[in-house]
Structure formats: structure tokens, C-alpha cells
Structure 1
């Protein structure tokens, strides 16, 4: 079983210092150096528009300033463990979500306004009035439940997620992550467990068990980034250990971890690299794989 050495950790820290965005450097300092979470909160708030949504490439492949649902999701992840139920930034984001929710109760994957912005080629809206999607409604609702937020948007969004999950039998990798993030945090634990058990085989199948699988795949530790996550139950100890070893082995010579998907413009390589490097460090810490 491999551990990330002290020198390798220092190399990752240097990579973040040289290449990562301020918000990810502050998140690293909060997670590993006991820096105050308020600094992270302030940095995330800088990406919030006056309409309450988030843009300005907080999601690196959405380069425009306009607010998008995926920007709101990343903002919620970044303030996990920092923001509370009465955080004004979150409540303003909920107001924005409510204003851009489809008739089915979910928010679309991407809004048509994305066509006015520079973006990755895969960011294409589903028509002029796109339907709600589990990606990102599931994690948005799950995180807001975890924060204890009380807002009118959350109840219909939660109902949308339950309905969408109930209609699924075969799960793709991105939807698997969204379903798991919702089921792990939604208050109705009995119903969450029942859906987890029903979809268990398909959720497991969404991960690439072979660590040598090529292309843009999601590994078991992408679905289960910490040992106390719901998805951890999908994989054996040996499978998790194998993929944690691979995470350590995949650290680049520059100290960071590189994404396994298309880098369509140069700036996103390090923006995603900083985001992913911090995620890998947090996963290795959660599993006790960082050496002293």
C-alpha cells in the first residue's frame, strides 16, 4: 500500500502555489494549513453575480461571466464545511435557482444563455426551454439539505430528484455521481437506502474498475472520495486500495494531477489541474494515505 511521501506532498503544494487559482489555493490552506474558512467564502463570493448565480469561469470550461447552474454547484462544493444554513451567499443562489428552474422542478444542465459565452464545445443547451436535469439538480439539492438551508426552491427540486431517480435503471458515470451526492445527503434516509440498493449494480458499473481504463472515465475513488461516503459500499477494500495506489502513482512531475478529459483552451489545464490536485490530496488524506 502506497502513501504520498512528504516530498510528494510538498511538490503538490508547490504546484498549487505556481498554477492554481486563488480560490483553490485558499481551499488548500483551509484544508491542510488551518487557514480560516472565511477566506474561502470570500473568494467564492467573488464569482457570484448580482443576480445571485455564479459565473466567471468558476466552472473552468464555462468561460463567460453569465450565471449557470454548474457554477452554483461548484460554489456549493467549495464552501462545504464552511457555509451555514443562513449564509446569505447560499440563499441568494437559491433565489437564482428558483428563477431558472424548469417546469418539472429541476434546473437544466446548462441554460441557453451559454450560447453568448466562450465555453467548452460540449456545453450545448437542450433547446430554448431545456428540461431539468439530475446533473446538477441532484448535488445542488443534496448539498443544500446538508447545509440545513430552508428555501422554497428545495422542496420541488427534491421531488424532481426522487422522480428522476425512480425512473432510472441504467446509470452513466456523471449521473451516478449526482445520484450518490443526492442520496447521501437527503433527509429521507429510508428512501435513500432503498434507491441505493435498487441501483447498486448500475452505480458500481458506472466506475472504471480497471485502473488502466483509457479515456475520460471515473474511478471508484471519484465516486467514493472518502471512506464514509455512500459509494464506498460499492467497492471492495482491494479495489479502493488499488485505485488509491494509482492516484499516488499518477502525480505528475510538476507535482499536480492532470484531468483525463479534453483541454480545449490552454488556461483550463491548470485551472482544472489545481481543482483536481486539491481533490486528490483531500481524498488521500481522508483514506490515511498521506505520509508524515
Structure 2
């Protein structure tokens, strides 16, 4: 199977408009403005993003994780819309704790279909997603009072130690890569202690892998992993491509449409990673 052609056809056939336009920007030279135009449909009048931009919940209301997803799409496309992002920051500030922390989700999701893992724990403010949101804003070059407040909170939290969950650690590392004097050895020592960290390429379970922490060879975090480990995960990524051209997911979204939507997201992500590591012959 031709990895690229099969992945392209899956995205064209099953992906949402936002993933199709992102694919066209990344692999076909399309104008990133088209990605921004698509994201506008997910932004609410309050400035936040919703409408299932992150497909595990079908809630139209603004949700912090949907804001994070919007930032990820902008960064992937190399797109800019400062007003769009600042409006999202205004909304984050409106729902943050007095210290600036935000949660992944909000209780309003309970009114709509959602994946089983969406529950009380997603309503607790924490480094996931606060640290990741701040790191993404720094990469987007957006200054905002909420960003400064949240960054100070994240720095204080991380001074007390790293989180114990690989998802929260991933978010924290997005923040830390923009901070001075990052201690790579300290991070490397902590990784094996994380819940949901999938260090071995042959581990079939759900988890966060070295390729999530270092999705490109020039990542700040690439030195945490030896060549054999990275190559093993790249081999596994290639092997995991399905017969229909897309990549599968290892959790249960709330329905068939959400499953296809998330598969579109991870398929574009897989192709991006393989391209970055020069493992994707384009044809």
C-alpha cells in the first residue's frame, strides 16, 4: 500500500472539512487562510471554540479542549488570525480560576453525547490543558493578560514537581520548551514514572508515545529518546495504517461520525509525523 496515497484518499473520503483543508495546506500547497476560514465555524460568539472541534463530545458550547484544538490546527497550518486567538483568550480568562488555571471540559458537556472518559475529572483546572494552552500561545506569538497569569501559575505548579500522567506531562512539556534552562535529564528520568506513557513500540495499549513528545526530529525533546526507540515507533506508526488508508484510534468516541472525525485527525497527524522524519515518500 502506498502510505501517502492511501492516507490522502482516507482524508478526502472520510475527513471533516477542517482536516481536508489542513491536509491541502500541508501537502498540496493550499493557502492557510482556508484553514482559518473553516475554524471560524467552530468559534462561538463568546470567543471560545466548540461544536465538537475535538470530537469526543458533541457539545456546541465553548470548551477549553476545543480552544486547544483550534490552536493546534492554526500551528499545524502555519496560519495566523490574531483577533481569533485573542477572542479565545478572553473567553479562557472568563472561565479561569483566580490564579489563571482552566480545565479540559465543563459540565455543560453532560447535556450532549460524549465519550465515556468525559466526566468529573475533566472539570478540574490543571496543567492539562493550562500549560499546553500557554505554550501554544507563545508559539503563536500572542500576548494576552490571561497568558501571563496562567504562565505564572504553571511555573509555580511545575516547581513543585512534574505531573504523574503522560497527558498532563505532554501539556507541561509544550510549556517548558519555551522556558529557559530546561533540564532534559530531569524530564528523561521522570518519563518512565508516568501513567499512560507507552515507551515500547510493541506495546498495543493506549498511551502517549515518544512521537507525541517529539513529533519532529528538531523537537526540543528529541534527545530524550534514542534512535532505536524513535525508529521503532515510526515503524509501528507505518504498520498501524489500516486497509482503508486511515489510522485507527484506541478509545471509543460517542458515535460513528465522531470516530471517523477522530480518525481523520490522527491520520493527518500520522502523515505529518512520517513526513517530518522523512519516512513518507510523497507520490
Name the TM tier (shorter chain): over 0.9
Partner of 1:162: 155
Counterpart-to-counterpart distance in 2, 1:265 and 1:175: 26
Structure 1 residue 132, shift from structure 2 partner: 2.2
Counterpart-to-counterpart distance in 2, 1:107 and 1:42: 26
Structure 2 SS opposite 1:216 = coil
Counterpart-to-counterpart distance in 2, 1:146 and 1:210: 30
Partner of 1:97: 92
**Pair 1:82 & 2:78 matched:** yes
Structure 1 residue 168, shift from structure 2 partner: 2.6
Partner of 1:228: 218
1:57 aligned residue (40, 52, 58): 52
Structure 1: gaps of 5 or more residues: none
Is residue 104–residue 131 contact of structure 1 (8 Å, CA) maintained in 2?
A: no
Structure 1 residue 139, shift from structure 2 partner: 1.2
Is residue 51–residue 96 contact of structure 1 (8 Å, CA) maintained in 2?
A: yes
1:44-91 per-position Cα deviation (integer Å, ceiling 9, x unaligned): 11100000000000010121101000000000000015344x611001
Q: 1:234 to 1:210 in 2, by over 3 A?
A: same
Partner of 2:111: 116
Structure 1 SS opposite 2:245 = coil
Size of the aligned set, in residue pairs, is 279
Partner of 1:199: 187
Counterpart-to-counterpart distance in 2, 1:251 and 1:285: 15
Partner of 1:241: 231
Runs of 4+ with >4 A deviation: none
Structure 1 residue 113, shift from structure 2 partner: 2.2
Is residue 241–residue 247 contact of structure 2 (8 Å, CA) maintained in 1?
A: yes
Structure 1 residue 117, shift from structure 2 partner: 2.6
Structure 1 residue 103, shift from structure 2 partner: 2.3
- Cα RMSD, aligned residues only: 1.8
Structure 1 SS opposite 2:221 = helix
1:238-286 per-position Cα deviation (integer Å, ceiling 9, x unaligned): 1100110111111100001011222342112211100000000000010
Structure 2 SS opposite 1:79 = helix
Structure 2: gaps of 5 or more residues: none
Is residue 215–residue 261 contact of structure 1 (8 Å, CA) maintained in 2?
A: no
Structure 1 residue 119, shift from structure 2 partner: 1.6
Counterpart-to-counterpart distance in 1, 2:271 and 2:239: 13
Structure 1 residue 288, shift from structure 2 partner: 0.5
Q: Scaled by the length of structure 1, what TM-score is found? A: 0.90
1:273 aligned residue (244, 256, 263): 263
Counterpart-to-counterpart distance in 1, 2:22 and 2:163: 35
Counterpart-to-counterpart distance in 1, 2:154 and 2:204: 31
Counterpart-to-counterpart distance in 1, 2:70 and 2:209: 23
1:145-203 per-position Cα deviation (integer Å, ceiling 9, x unaligned): 1111111111110011112222234532101211111112x3x322xx13x44332113
Partner of 2:240: 250
